[in-house]
Structure 1
Amino acid sequence: MKAPRPAPGPAPRKPRRRIGRGALMLIAALFASSALVRFGSGFALALDSAEATEPATETAACIDDQGVMALYTEVQTRERKLAERETVLSDRSKAIALAEKRIEQRLASLVEAEQNLAQTVTIADKAADEDVTRLVTVYENMKPKEAAPLFSAMAPEFAAGFLSRMRPETSAAVMAALDPKVAYTISVIMAGRNAGAPQN
């Protein structure tokens, strides 16, 4: 019978590597470069702020690059053109506003003239209607034999207008005293006046 094997003990520890001098040098170099970057950025900011405080004329005078000067000239040209266009647009808008104001004034004048004309036409129509009513009254008071020659001399349309406004018995008496051809023509005109009117 074999002898039992002894229980395994803890594994032997590997010796730790010592941090070499190279790693320390690398960390020191990183700190130094970080300090240099911070110092350089602060110096650059100080230079930028100092340049920003210089007058604009000195800055423009320091520009020597031809490309930058050409770009600056082009920007100035465009700004001038834009200013000219703004002036033109402003003048046009003022002209349009003035034209609109004149058109509104003319429209107001036309509306007023139309109203005056409508009033004048109404007055003239009323006066003409009153004149025709007076003439109808005159013709109605005449004897049919005396009125017949007047109606024979009138244009048939004109005579038909008077006879249609007269009382039916008086109109009939005047028509009876007229020449039959004239009376027939006037009758046709009087009958056809309302032929095209709607029946309902």
Structure 2
Amino acid sequence: MKVTVKLPRVRGGTLAVISVLLIGSALVRIGLQAGPAIARESLPEQDQEMPADSAIARTVAPTSAELQTLIDALREREHALDTREAQIQDRMKALEIAEEAIERRLEALIGAEERLSATLALADGATEEDLGRLTDVYQKMKPKQAAALFETMAPEFAAGFLARMRPDAAAEVMAGLSPMAAYSISVVLAGRNATVPKE
């Protein structure tokens, strides 16, 4: 199963476009306000006396020092935005590298899980085959010999083989066991499915 993490892409030109628009807006304002200032400077001194409205406009119009401060501030902001954009791009690259590494590890884990499942299936098949052969051997033994062997086994172990044997062969082996061993094995056989859910 391949997991893909989608990350938002940052467009490299977005911040640059915003910066250009801000600088362009500042330049338009400067141009609109610079025209009257230049016109005033070209007038003779006696014509430079202005009405009250023009005096207010003059105080509102930025001076060249203020304009320079504004331009410097815009340049600093542009530099800060460029730095931030570079940091974001670096992080995006790091995230892409991490995503690729995670995908590779996930693929390796999936492959290892598939190999482990195949190995377990082989082991289960081999175990089942071995148990089947051993059960056949016990069924083919004389009941008295098999009973002597089952007498020495742990009841849980013996019950496992008896449950796999044909009923008639298992009955003959049980008949040859001591009453205590037969009882212990019977208890294990009877309780094997007691914990299975009924629904």
Confirm or deny a common fold (TM above 0.5).
yes
CA deviation profile, 1:109-135 (whole Å, cap 9, x unmatched): 111111111111111101100000000
Supply the distance in 2 between the matched residues of 1:107 and 1:81 (Cα, whole angstroms).
38
Q: Aligned letter for 2:178?
A: D
- Whether 2:87 is the aligned partner of 1:67: answer no
Normalising by structure 2, we get a TM-score of 0.65
SS in 2 for 1:197: coil
Identity in percent: 49
Partner of 2:45: none
Alpha-carbon shift at residue 68 of structure 1 (Å): 2.0
Partner of 1:16: none
CA radius of gyration, larger in: 1
Alpha-carbon shift at residue 198 of structure 1 (Å): 5.2
Supply the distance in 1 between the matched residues of 2:75 and 2:153 (Cα, whole angstroms).
87
Q: How large is the Cα RMSD of the aligned pairs? A: 2.3
Partner of 2:126: 127
SS in 1 for 2:70: helix
Supply the distance in 2 between the matched residues of 1:78 and 1:199 (Cα, whole angstroms).
73
Higher relative contact order (CA 8 A, sep 6+): 2
Q: Aligned letter for 1:119?
A: A
Partner of 1:147: 146
Q: Aligned letter for 2:112?
A: A
Partner of 1:190: 189
CA deviation profile, 1:11-48 (whole Å, cap 9, x unmatched): xxxxxxxxxxxxxxxxxxxxxxxxxxxxxxxxx69x89
Normalising by structure 1, we get a TM-score of 0.65
Partner of 1:86: 85
Alpha-carbon shift at residue 91 of structure 1 (Å): 0.8
Alpha-carbon shift at residue 78 of structure 1 (Å): 1.1
1:1-200 equivalences in 2 (<5 Å)? 65-197=64-196
Is there any run of 5+ residues in structure 2 with no aligned partner, and where? Answer: 1-34, 40-61
Supply the distance in 2 between the matched residues of 1:136 and 1:142 (Cα, whole angstroms).
10
Is there any run of 5+ residues in structure 1 with no aligned partner, and where? Answer: 1-43, 49-62
- Give the total of aligned pairs: 142
CA deviation profile, 1:169-191 (whole Å, cap 9, x unmatched): 11111111112122111111111
Supply the distance in 2 between the matched residues of 1:149 and 1:82 (Cα, whole angstroms).
89
Supply the distance in 1 between the matched residues of 2:158 and 2:126 (Cα, whole angstroms).
19
Supply the distance in 2 between the matched residues of 1:77 and 1:153 (Cα, whole angstroms).
91
Alpha-carbon shift at residue 149 of structure 1 (Å): 2.6
Q: Aligned letter for 1:136?
A: T
